[in-house]
Structure 1
Amino acid sequence: MGLRCSVNTLHAFLFSDFLHKPVWMWLVFLAVVLFLLILDLGVFNRKDHEIGVKESLLMSVFYIGIGLLFSLWVGKILGQEKAFEYLTGFVVEKTLAMDNIFVIAMIFSYFRVPRIYQHRVLFWGILGVIVLRGIMIGVGAKLVSEFEWVLYLFAAFLIYSGVKMLFKQEDEADIGANPVLRFIRKRIRVTRDFHGHSFLIYRTNPRTGHKFLYATPLLMALIFIEIADVIFAVDSVPAVFSITTDAYVVYTSNIFAILGLRSLYFALSAVISKFHYLKYALSVVLIFIGAKIFVSEMLHLVKIPPAVSLGVTLAILAAGIVVSLVKGDKEA
């Protein structure tokens, strides 16, 4: 009885803010996402194959188009202001998640995941992201609704993250020394080689005849990609809550941005290093979003409309891309 009460309390805590919107709105969103996932694995990538740059770009344009079309639907149902908030959250999340591409590339390299199986890992990783982001956004929405000062805490964290990003030196993480990897290897049997696109396999002990379940390196890569997603969500979730406290807008903009970025990975992984100054532009965006909360909500000096916020965000990121391309050409 006690356990059932605890589960019900947790469910109410996480999802009470989500249910402020009609259930049919959530069903529409989930139906679109489910359709995209079925289309992805069941049609476009039914057979394992290496995804080239052209295919990656076409899939990305398709996903971005769906994300932008959804903003029109948000505007029609919730109003123009919510649509601009959705678009700002979509752009910020998409840009923040680009850093994740470096980490994903490192994980695939460390576990030597063949390119033919990389999309499968990223696809199943999306399912984990949908659940984990839902939990984190549910907690965040409830905290913001119950304790207004949490929003200022998010804003301060964004300013701190932005300033830290400005001065942070690039360094490569040593995945082999990661304590999570050591913990898993001590407690789970892991094969040295791949077995097609399988995450788990059974092996028979030749002496006893007993079967034992083994994880493959593909599953290890998936686990680490999910961990990376949780770490990056620590920045992205407060960022979107600083743009809007509407849980529906926060969650949908997060998921649509991530869905498209996974497809874009195969094109960006080779060229993302050229956009060196995008990191600095993103840090300025984080500082701007965090400062906006203090200026408009806490000090009541000026209310920055969502359309203006979206315009400033796009202008800063565009400047980072242009400077990266110009500086990159000169250095080359």
Structure 2
Amino acid sequence: MTMWVITVATLLILIAADFFIGGRKPHEVSMKEAGTWSIVWLALAVLFGTGLAVLGHGQASGEFFAGYITEKSLSVDNLFVFVLIMAKFSVPTIYQQRVLMIGVLLALALRAVFIALGAAAINQFAWVFYLFGAFLIYTAWKFIQEARTDEDDDDWEEGRLLKAVQRRVPSTSEWHGTRMFVRENGKKLATPMLIVMVAIGLTDLLFAVDSIPAIFGLTQDPYIVFTANAFALMGLRQLYFLIVGLLKKLVHLSYGLSAILGFIGVKLVLHGVHETTSLHVPEISTPVSLAVIGGVLAITTVTSVMASRKAGTKNPSTADQREPAGNTDTQG
């Protein structure tokens, strides 16, 4: 309990520092600022994982890094939807960092609930490993199917849910700075700021349905699951501004994520067999998990870059057809 209190208090201090130093005043985030904070959060995660090893918790340290890398790689997929949300609501550039900060904090709180429920289920029912494993294998297949088809942006599930919220919550379409509610003609209305924050939090909550079972496949320690999620999420806002222009080049990301989720799903099923039967089945160790996850991400990145370059060579005129940078709408 002491470790939990110290960890949560430290995270709150770091979040407060992030807000007051870089997020309190609405502004357009520069590449330098995003890069600096991305390095800071990465360094803090490495420091935390190394600290576990120094304190004699070598296995916990390995599980943390495996979980952190997995959650970080899965969170990159969130950024595609974040870009879509920002564009759909025409979020002004100066407000995007505030939207992401509050949305990520909301997502972290909701994930804590998911983690508590998942840990309780695993402790009480060993067969949950089969459920989680089957779900991850199904999700891996779904990722492959989505990667092979061009889906209409209007079909995204979060969009339909948000439209339902907007129909039931009195709101205004005009921005009022960072305010979430305003009064017009004596009536309290929600602003686009609130709606977009809910959209970001809701999106990450739906992604958590995949990522929480994935990390439970690497460790059953709720403390490691929570801290890996916390460090992965808290650097997500800066990562958005840092690589938003590079996301479209990661054309094979979905294939890499499906391979990782499928691998962890198989690992969960094997662990379930080990826990619930007397059969002697091989169990996948944490070092092997780290090697597989790191290898898949490296291969995915290399093949994505090669595919993007090949596509650029075949279609050299694409760049000339784009709108000049000076005419870009800063509201989208």
Q: Which category of TM-score, normalised to the shorter sequence, fits these structures?
A: 0.7 to 0.9
Indicate the residue corresponding to 1:319 in structure 2: 299
Indicate the residue corresponding to 1:197 in structure 2: 178
- Residue 66 (1) aligns with residue 44 (2): yes
Q: Could you tell me how far apart the structure 2 residues matched to 1:101 and 1:35 are? A: 25
Q: Is the 8 A contact 1:199 1:215 kept in 2?
A: yes
Q: Could you tell me how far apart the structure 2 residues matched to 1:114 and 1:245 are? A: 41
Q: Could you tell me how far apart the structure 1 residues matched to 2:90 and 2:156 are? A: 13
Q: Is the 8 A contact 1:71 1:87 kept in 2?
A: yes
Q: How many residues align?
A: 304
TM normalised by structure 2 equals 0.87
Secondary structure of 1:213's partner?
A: strand
Indicate the residue corresponding to 1:252 in structure 2: 227
1:110-189 equivalence runs, <5 A: 110-168=88-146, 169-174=149-154, 178-189=159-170
Q: Closer, same or farther in 2 for the Cα pair 1:146/1:296, shift >3 Å?
A: closer
Structure 1 gap ranges (5+):
1-22, 206-210
Q: Could you tell me how far apart the structure 1 residues matched to 2:165 and 2:271 are? A: 47
Alpha-carbon deviation of 1:327?
1.9
Indicate the residue corresponding to 1:329 in structure 2: 309
Alpha-carbon deviation of 1:77?
4.3
Q: Could you tell me how far apart the structure 1 residues matched to 2:280 and 2:73 are? A: 29
Q: Could you tell me how far apart the structure 2 residues matched to 1:148 and 1:78 are? A: 28
Q: Could you tell me how far apart the structure 2 residues matched to 1:138 and 1:263 are? A: 27
Partner deviation per Cα, 1:111-137 (whole Å, 9 max, x = no partner): 111010011011111221221001111
- Residue 309 (1) aligns with residue 313 (2): no
- Residue 34 (1) aligns with residue 7 (2): no
Q: Closer, same or farther in 2 for the Cα pair 1:312/1:149, shift >3 Å?
A: same
Larger displacement relative to structure 2 (135-144 or 189-198) = 189-198
Q: Could you tell me how far apart the structure 1 residues matched to 2:246 and 2:221 are? A: 35
Q: Could you tell me how far apart the structure 1 residues matched to 2:43 and 2:303 are? A: 26
Alpha-carbon deviation of 1:181?
3.1
Q: Could you tell me how far apart the structure 1 residues matched to 2:27 and 2:174 are? A: 19
Runs of 4+ with >6 A deviation: none
Q: Is the 8 A contact 1:158 1:239 kept in 2?
A: yes
Q: Could you tell me how far apart the structure 2 residues matched to 1:96 and 1:172 are? A: 22
Alpha-carbon deviation of 1:262?
1.7
TM normalised by structure 1 equals 0.87
Indicate the residue corresponding to 1:107 in structure 2: 85
Q: Is the 8 A contact 1:107 1:175 kept in 2?
A: no
Q: Could you tell me how far apart the structure 1 residues matched to 2:122 and 2:47 are? A: 28
Q: Is the 8 A contact 1:162 1:287 kept in 2?
A: yes
- Equivalent of 2:212, from 232, 237, 256? 237
Q: Could you tell me how far apart the structure 1 residues matched to 2:234 and 2:151 are? A: 27
Q: Closer, same or farther in 2 for the Cα pair 1:189/1:296, shift >3 Å?
A: closer
- Residue 228 (1) aligns with residue 203 (2): yes
Alpha-carbon deviation of 1:78?
6.2
> RMSD between aligned alpha carbons?
1.8
Identity %: 36
- Equivalent of 1:85, from 50, 63, 74? 63
Q: Closer, same or farther in 2 for the Cα pair 1:111/1:78, shift >3 Å?
A: farther
Q: Could you tell me how far apart the structure 2 residues matched to 1:97 and 1:73 are? A: 24
Q: Could you tell me how far apart the structure 1 residues matched to 2:199 and 2:58 are? A: 38
Structure 2 gap ranges (5+):
274-278, 313-332
Q: Is the 8 A contact 2:252 2:300 kept in 1?
A: yes
- Residue 276 (1) aligns with residue 276 (2): no
Q: Could you tell me how far apart the structure 2 residues matched to 1:60 and 1:330 are? A: 30
Alpha-carbon deviation of 1:323?
0.8
Larger displacement relative to structure 2 (92-101 or 184-193) = 184-193
